[in-house]
Amino acid sequence: MPRYRWREPERVPEMARELAVHPLLAAVLYRRGIRNHEEVRRFLQPHLSDLPDPAALPDSGRAVSLVEEVRCRSRPVVVFGDYDVDGLTATTLLAQLFGEFGLTVIPMVPHRLRDGYGFQRHHVPGVLEHRPALLVTVDCGTGDWDALRDVLRAGVPVIVLDHHAVHDEAWPDELAFVSVARPDAPPVFRTLSAVGVAYQFARLLLGNEAASRWLPLVALGTVADVVPLVGINRTLVALGLKRFWETAPLGLRTLARLSGLDSARGQRLTSWHCGYVLGPRLNAAGRMDDPRLALELLLTADAQRAEELARKLNELNALRQRAIERMLAEAEQRIDALGSLPPVLVLADSAWSVGLVGLAASKLVSRYARPVVLLARESEVSRGSARSIDGFDIAAALARCRDLLIDHGGHHAAAGLTVETERIAELEARLLEIAAEHLGQEEPALPLELDAELHPYQIALETWEVLAQLEPYGHGNPVPRFLVRDVRAVDITSTQNERHLRFTVVAPDGTVRQAVWFEGGREIARLARAGRIDIAFTLRRSDWNGQERVELDVIDIRPTR
């Protein structure tokens, strides 16, 4: 299990009580920077009118003019997106948007393994063979200036809708570059995902109400891209989740239904369903087969074809899950055999898929509280992904290894890399040196921010319902984490091949609550001998023998001080 560094909640000032909401809700909101009535209203009751004017985005007017110009032409519009969920939902939105204008649309996405990321020069002939009146790239295009110049030289106008960092500002003057990452873009838009940018474009062309039909797509892509769910993103996701069963594409609703979600019972989608049910299934197409399967599902109006594609994505996702489990088991076996853990874990294997190593690396970071580099080993060149912890910028670390790498890129928490297979050992040694400089000798630990202290009697359905107003949860607005002090754990049992634990929490006053500790099987001995403990946890709603209850979803324990 990872080591955590607990950060206990600070005392909330009396003024938080003036927010006119439940005291526990007020405390969580205050600690998250929501500190006046209007901020509370926007956070808890977002509305379309809260959205900023999309016309403030640089080059947006120019992009609208280009669309207006091609409306009277008979040639198609090519929409070129990315293979991940953000790119797929953005491509779908734009394809349907241009269809509203009577335009013929040719949606295209690259193959994750064959093509790699971005709009590259080898994509240009495939675009030009359609003799398009316009090329629109979304969730890619930034920095792909050479390939885009080839398109412009062929007489095809170009719009780039993106959110990725702009490292090379020498973009062609001829294109409309609508990016929230441009230095001159208003800060209020800065955290948007690509589908969020596409939605701003739809608002410009159709207006707020008409464009709102695509909010379910925006919600899914935004959550899946792990952008902060605060400000404009929170508004978009909250409104999109509410409208899911009414306006989401047929294929997406079919996928939700076949994944166990039920509109007939009025089941409301949450950000969790986007991030852990729908998103992984759409991503599985690109990771295990072809992302065009997911794109076709999102675009189809044929109910039978939607069923076929949704079942196919469910099958691919099951294959992905089994492959990840095998990778994790192999990686954990090798890590546990090391004895003492190094400050960075670097592992390579010829049986691992480059499309899955990033997912596995993220899980290993959570488990071992260390930066992790996983590589799909091939005879000459290996490709992989790196994931990191707070306090260790993995992209900067890889930049210091550039002489050993063929390619690399990313940000402080996640990166991709390509390395000659014979140099993997050198790369590991260099990363260990860098980690020793930055992390020192102290055992790495994951930060654990706690929102409030609860008494066990407060762990109840009423508390759950109060806190449900904080949805949608995600990056920047995590599920509230709580602290309960001075309790005992009794009736400890293990489940599912001893991976998980269940136990009863008993407070000094006799209050009893149930707890589950996922992936806590290795901690059974520590828990059994711990005596009086403090527990860090989130609330979990469950159905136990036909009765709803709320229990502790344990993150960590420590001896009571």
pLDDT digits (tens, 9 = 90+) for 494-522: 986 788 999 999 999 999 999 999 988 88
pLDDT computed for residue 445 by the predictor:
77
Cα(557)–Cα(547) distance, integer angstroms: 27
Structure tokens at 496: 């599912």
pLDDT computed for residue 391 by the predictor:
83
**Report field, pTM of the whole predicted structure over 0.75:** yes
pLDDT computed for residue 266 by the predictor:
64
Please give, one letter per residue, the 3-state secondary structure of 187-216.
HHHCCCCHHHHHHHHHHHHHCHHHHHHHHH
**Cβ neighbours of residue 497 closer than 8 Å, sequence gap 6 or more:** 521
Instruction: Give the number of residues written for the chain.
Output: 561
The residue among 447, 448, 446, 442 whose CA lies nearest residue 343 is: 442
- For residue 438, the SS3 value is helix
Cα(95)–Cα(300) distance, integer angstroms: 12
Structure tokens at 449: 């921010």
Structure confidence by residue, pLDDT tens digits, 396-411: 999 999 999 998 887 7
Structure tokens at 130: 């359609």
Q: Confidence band (pLDDT; 50, 70, 90) for 440?
A: low
Which structural domains are found in the chain, ordered by start? Answer: 11-40 (no CATH), 54-312 (3.90.1640.30), 338-446 (3.10.310.30), 448-559 (2.40.50.460)
pLDDT computed for residue 15 by the predictor:
66
How do strand 446-449 and strand 134-138 relate by DSSP bridges?
unpaired
Structure tokens at 245: 């069963």
Query: What residues pair up with 232 in beta bridges, in sequence order?
Result: none
Q: Is the Cβ–Cβ distance between 92 and 299 less than 8 Å? A: yes
Q: How far is CA 459 from the centre of its chain?
A: 28
Cα(286)–Cα(172) distance, integer angstroms: 31
Distances (CA, A) of 471 to 29, 184, 215, 264, 543: 12, 32, 16, 22, 20
Q: Which of 135-144, 368-377, 387-396, 409-418 has the lowest mean pLDDT?
A: 409-418
Cα(452)–Cα(11) distance, integer angstroms: 9
Structure confidence by residue, pLDDT tens digits, 347-366: 999 999 998 999 999 999 98
Q: Confidence band (pLDDT; 50, 70, 90) for 223?
A: very high
Structure confidence by residue, pLDDT tens digits, 146-172: 999 999 999 999 999 999 988 888 999
Instruction: Report angle CA 113, 219, 201 to the nearest 5 degrees.
Output: 85
pLDDT computed for residue 58 by the predictor:
97
Distances (CA, A) of 284 to 112, 273, 289, 337, 340: 11, 15, 7, 31, 35
pLDDT computed for residue 13 by the predictor:
78
Per-residue b/e over 24-46, b at no fewer than 16 CB within 10 Å?
Answer: bbbbbbbbbebbeeeebeebbeb
Cα(316)–Cα(292) distance, integer angstroms: 13
Backbone angles phi, psi at 224, to 5 degrees: -65, -30
Check pLDDT > 80 for residue 439.
Answer: no
pLDDT computed for residue 311 by the predictor:
98
Q: Is the Cβ–Cβ distance between 77 and 98 less than 8 Å? A: yes
Check pLDDT > 60 for residue 1.
Answer: no
pLDDT computed for residue 193 by the predictor:
96
Backbone angles phi, psi at 446, to 5 degrees: -90, 135
pLDDT computed for residue 35 by the predictor:
86
Structure tokens at 63: 């992009």
Residue 212 has, within 13 A of its CA and on its CB side, a CA count of 14
Q: Which of 68-72, 291-295, 552-556 has the lowest mean pLDDT?
A: 68-72
